[in-house]
Amino acid sequence: MKLWIDGDACPVVDAIVRVGKARQLPIILVKNIHHHYDRTDLEIQTVSGGPDSVDFHIINQLKPGDVVITQDTGLAALVMARKAYAIHPMGREFTEDNIDLLMDRRFTGQLLRRKHGIYPKGHKAKKAPDTVFETALEEMLDRILTDSERKSADGSPNEHPHE
């Protein structure tokens, strides 16, 4: 299992590093050429500045059971289709139970922005305290690792339930 960070906008890198290092998991931050990270405590992969270049790079490298930390609902849906896991920096896990609603909200927002010609320049992302995200990530990883160990012991295939 690897932890993949969508480096386009991730306010919880420190928390990810703490959790990943404690579990001895590889941590890869993928960023485009327009972002700068000065870190030596994780692997940084840089891709072109094209639209969704970070997302495509992560999806192409992703293995079943990996975890992606992203604010991008579209990327989260693709991650889930690859039998991997996705969690938002606010601590909300993307699941089969919520991904359709979240994708619908994303689509509706895009339609409204196009219809009314309102394209905000962006806003500072809301940030949960690192402890909220860190606890959610720890619980998610503990559940994934426990499920994986249980399935290995049973001899059952390692399916990804997204629960």
- Beta pairing partners, 46: 31
Tell me, what's the pLDDT at 17?
Answer: 97
Q: Which helix (H) or strand (E) holds 148?
A: helix 130-154
- Beta pairing partners, 130: none
Distance of CA 71 to the CA centre of its chain: 7
Looking at per-residue pLDDT, the higher value among 142 and 158 belongs to 142
Burial of 4 (0-12, 13-18, 19+ CB in 10 A): buried
pLDDT tens column, 3-60 = 999 998 789 999 999 999 999 999 999 999 988 888 999 999 999 988 899 999 999 9
Residue 7, CA distances (Å) to 55, 58, 98, 142, 143 in order: 10, 10, 23, 24, 25
Residue 90, Cβ neighbours under 10 Å: how many? 15
Looking at the predicted structure, is the pLDDT value of residue 162 above 60? Answer: no
Let me know: does 44 contact 26? Beta carbons within 8 Å: no
Let me know: does 48 contact 32? Beta carbons within 8 Å: yes
pLDDT tens column, 45-102 = 999 988 899 999 999 999 999 999 998 898 999 999 999 999 999 999 998 887 777 6
pLDDT tens column, 102-135 = 666 666 666 666 667 766 555 555 555 678 999 9
Domains along the chain with CATH numbers? 3-154 (3.40.50)
